[in-house]
Structure 1
Amino acid sequence: MVVNAGPMTEEAEHNADQRDPARLIPSSVQSPSSVRGACPSLAAPMHTGDGLLVRFRPSDPALSIQQIRQLAEAAACHGNGLLEITSRGSLQIRGLREETLSALEADIAAAGIVPDSGIVIEIPSLSGLDPTELSSAGVMAENLKRAIAGMPLPALAPKLSIVIDGRDRIGLGSLPADIRLTATRREGGDPEWIVAVGGASRMDRRLAILPNERAISATVEILRLLAEIGPRARGRDLSIDRLRPSFPDIEMIEMTDPGRAVASPIGLHDLGSGNLVFGLRLPYGQIHSAELIAFLDRAEEWGVYEVRPALEHCLMLVGMRPEALASAKLAAANFGFSMSTDDPRNHIHTCAGTRGCASAFYDTKAFAARLLTASGLLDGSTSIHLSGCSKGCARPARASLAFVGAPMGYGLVVNGSASDAPVAYIHENDLKSALDDLSRLVLNEKGAGESVDACLTRLGSDYIASALRQG
């Protein structure tokens, strides 16, 4: 049965952006993972349904086959063997226990992997490899880390992030960032950096265009301004009035997009001179260590010497020999990797679900397999978020459709995020018929040349909820 979720109350509307993310979870099953806060790390793991979870980003994104193999072995020895790559390219290890954390940390160190600490600084996965990179994001990041290390700062927001985009073929313009440095070159000049705060690249407030050293000084100044506001301040909280004394040309910076079209990390990337990089997306962002080790054994046969975690839950295999490509594609398919941007699984965003989180109300992986049969919903334009609870870990941003775990089944959110109020609830026994009804609705209502996402947006949540109730 599909049940009307009912209108939001006046109080709920007033507090829409301040909702308790665990509001659908009965207090009896809430856990520390039900509350948003600092990201999990080696020093501060997160409690989940399958034990503790740690997340980290290697300070050097270029990992050898042996390093990845040692990491997978450590995950199997000290956790449940599940490894994940997040949408932003961080590594996660699941199923840990309090007594295994120190041993895991020792094994990571023994592998020569140094997790980043302090303020998160993100760079493109191909930085330093891609000859099209306008300016080295990796070098800029190292220089910035040294500058920050010598700067006495009070506590900053735990999720504050800095993105440095050297503008290689796989840019970071889609990533939200508190501070963004984007390489640019004015006609006849040397590469410089656009310094901006808040949002994704098209929503940033651009402050200045500066050469390397001055861009680093500007970033340090922005951190100082954030520290003045307080320990929860983010880039979006910096007003023009607060920024103007440090950046007097702020209103004169051109607001046009500085970049070019960028590629997805998924698929084959020819860097020239026979240097191939093969980007593979983990199946729903997750793989078991035994499978990863077996795959890495094959990868060495193909000439792969380096592996880099990347955006979109991807592993970038560096050094692929052209003659080994056919064998690599066959093996990748057998291991469940996505190799193409048009794979419908790329548009399904799942959290761990009940297999790995105490806060979840349903098995998101099983739902994903069922969703693939609802072919009318996956045309490449839609993003479908399967969230075990209203916390929305897998995709904080808007999705075309979100199915949010709730005690009575699934809350359906149309053109919103998992924390938004559902327009309807679907009983767990009625999922198949609801998916069939949604597919049929889109098929009947979609105009010629119209995408599924555009159709859902045009129809609107009220119409869709009414149609589902009528069956």
Structure 2
Amino acid sequence: MSAPLVKGWCPGAFRPMMSGDGLVVRVRPPLGEVSATQAAGLADLAERHGSGVIEATARANLQLRGVSESAYPALIQDLRALGLLGDADSEARRNLVLDPFRAPKTDQIARGFLDGLSRTEFSALPGKFGFVVDPGTPRRLAGISGDIRIESSAEGMILRADGCATGRLLGDTDEAIALGLNLARWFLTSGGVGADGRGRMARHLDGGTALPDALSGDVDPSPAAPEPQPGRQGHGVCVAAAFGQFTSGALRALSETGGPIRVTPYRMLYLPAVTDLPDHPDLILDPQDALRRVQACTGAPGCPQATVQTRDLARRLALSVPEGQCWHVSGCAKGCAYPRFADLTLVGRDGAFDLVKQGTPWDDPIRRGLSPLEIDTEIRS
């Protein structure tokens, strides 16, 4: 079996990715938030130009699937009219994940990063290189991938390079912005980007390159918060959908609440100013819903790298997942839908499934080549 094709970049609005069901067009909302008007507009565009589904991704973005090449130019014009696109260069660098339950300083830091990253000196940053802005206590984004991290600690905000257990104490938001951008400069000038244009901070440090003293420290980040669940969160509400796929009707219903909608990296949406829970059959508001215990990617035939169907199997397995556990059905070893640890992971390979327990899709399986019918027997044993 050939390894899954790792492209080194994620689909964007100006760089869509061809999949088995058409183009995947990813929208990176500024500061991870859309207005009610923009949400309603995205619902319309999903119906007009795509499959009618809007996916929330693990990078806190939204993406439209099933877009034909002929419809793509009109979609770009419509997204620009909604105020969701800048120029192609700045859009590609808008790779920030923000705490969706955030304090005002989170937005201030994110805006500073976006302004800085618009400079040409950062144009060589790899497509998957990202920033995490998580200065609240406890940390909400501890399990979310990011190369440069602004986090909380018992002593205050810290800057932490991914791959380092500790970080440098920061004085204020201005210093967070300045040193975060300095860390990105150091990554570029110290050889963090390979000849193929790829590179990640943790891999760079693992290779033996040491951080300069000005960008490192010995302050531990604050404890991690449990992953949020659907339902009330603070003054707002989190809403989920099966496998992170929001139908156009569901997104339109959320837009009718009138408030802003934040995209979370948990493949949920957060409405920070809602008091009445939205009501729509495609929305999941119960944290105990069985579909919340299983993750699944698009699978075949929607994804050309997958050799197995995933979501029908995931729906069938959902009722078997013990409470408190998370299972993952992945079409290939890349694990795009849930690139994290799961209690049980089924990984598609040559039309069958490999079984990984207590690991990630790229870990060594304990069983190989299981058919869908053999999976039930294996799980029960």
- The normalised TM-score by structure 1 is 0.71
Name 2:159's counterpart in structure 1. 195
Q: Report the CA distance between 1:315 and its aligned residue.
A: 1.5
Name 2:293's counterpart in structure 1. 347
Q: Which letter maps to 1:317?
A: L
Secondary structure at the counterpart of residue 136 of structure 1? helix
Secondary structure at the counterpart of residue 71 of structure 2? helix
Distance 1:105 1:168, change over 3 A: farther
Secondary structure at the counterpart of residue 7 of structure 2? coil
Name 1:12's counterpart in structure 2. none
Aligned mates of 2:301, 2:27 — CA distance in 1? 22
* Residue 200 of structure 2, aligned match among 212, 215, 234: 234
What are the equivalent positions in structure 2 for 1:367-406 lying under 5 Å apart?
367-374=313-320, 377-380=321-324, 382-406=325-349
* Residue 319 of structure 1, aligned match among 250, 273, 291: 273
Q: Which letter maps to 2:238?
A: G
Q: Deviations over 1:157-212 (max 9, x none)?
A: 221111111316772222121111124574xxxxx53011014xxx6341343322
Q: Report the CA distance between 1:117 and its aligned residue.
A: 3.6
* 1:142 has 2:117 as partner: no
Name 1:310's counterpart in structure 2. 264
* Residue 254 of structure 1, aligned match among 216, 219, 222: 219
Secondary structure at the counterpart of residue 300 of structure 2? helix
Aligned mates of 1:153, 1:407 — CA distance in 2? 40
Distance 1:238 1:70, change over 3 A: same
Name 1:366's counterpart in structure 2. 312
Contact 1:227/1:233, CA 8 A, preserved across alignment: no
Distance 1:99 1:64, change over 3 A: same
What are the equivalent positions in structure 2 for 1:102-117 lying under 5 Å apart?
102-114=73-85, 116-117=91-92
Aligned mates of 2:116, 2:290 — CA distance in 1? 43
* 1:120 has 2:66 as partner: no
Distance 1:259 1:398, change over 3 A: closer
Q: Report the CA distance between 1:42 and its aligned residue.
A: 1.3
Q: Report the CA distance between 1:35 and its aligned residue.
A: 3.2
Secondary structure at the counterpart of residue 411 of structure 1? strand
Secondary structure at the counterpart of residue 320 of structure 1? coil
Please, which moves more after superposition, 344-353 or 392-401?
392-401
Aligned mates of 2:318, 2:143 — CA distance in 1? 26
Aligned mates of 1:372, 1:428 — CA distance in 2? 17
Distance 1:205 1:170, change over 3 A: closer
Aligned mates of 1:157, 1:206 — CA distance in 2? 23
Aligned mates of 1:221, 1:140 — CA distance in 2? 14
Q: Deviations over 1:308-329 (max 9, x none)?
A: 22221112234334xx44xx4x
Aligned mates of 2:265, 2:101 — CA distance in 1? 11
- Alignment size in residue pairs: 370
Name 1:30's counterpart in structure 2. none
Q: Which letter maps to 2:210?
A: R
Secondary structure at the counterpart of residue 181 of structure 1? strand
Aligned mates of 2:149, 2:347 — CA distance in 1? 32
Q: Report the CA distance between 1:405 and its aligned residue.
A: 1.7
* 1:283 has 2:233 as partner: no
- The normalised TM-score by structure 2 is 0.87
Aligned mates of 2:120, 2:181 — CA distance in 1? 8
Aligned mates of 1:368, 1:387 — CA distance in 2? 9
Distance 1:41 1:62, change over 3 A: closer
Q: Which letter maps to 1:402?
A: T
Contact 2:19/2:303, CA 8 A, preserved across alignment: yes
When the two chains are superposed, the root-mean-square deviation of aligned CA atoms in Å is: 2.7
Name 2:178's counterpart in structure 1. 217
Q: Report the CA distance between 1:427 and its aligned residue.
A: 4.4
Secondary structure at the counterpart of residue 279 of structure 1? strand
Aligned mates of 1:418, 1:348 — CA distance in 2? 14
What are the equivalent positions in structure 2 for 1:325-336 lying under 5 Å apart?
325=277, 328=278, 331-332=279-280, 334-335=281-282
Aligned mates of 1:168, 1:244 — CA distance in 2? 27
Q: Report the CA distance between 1:366 and its aligned residue.
A: 0.7
Q: Report the CA distance between 1:264 and its aligned residue.
A: 0.8
Higher helix share: 1
Contact 1:405/1:411, CA 8 A, preserved across alignment: yes
Q: Report the CA distance between 1:61 and its aligned residue.
A: 3.2
Distance 1:260 1:245, change over 3 A: closer
Aligned mates of 2:317, 2:13 — CA distance in 1? 34
Q: Identity of counterpart residues, as a percentage?
A: 26
* 1:78 has 2:49 as partner: yes
Q: Which letter maps to 1:246?
A: A
* 1:357 has 2:327 as partner: no
Contact 2:353/2:370, CA 8 A, preserved across alignment: yes
Aligned mates of 1:400, 1:72 — CA distance in 2? 34
* Residue 412 of structure 1, aligned match among 348, 355, 362: 355
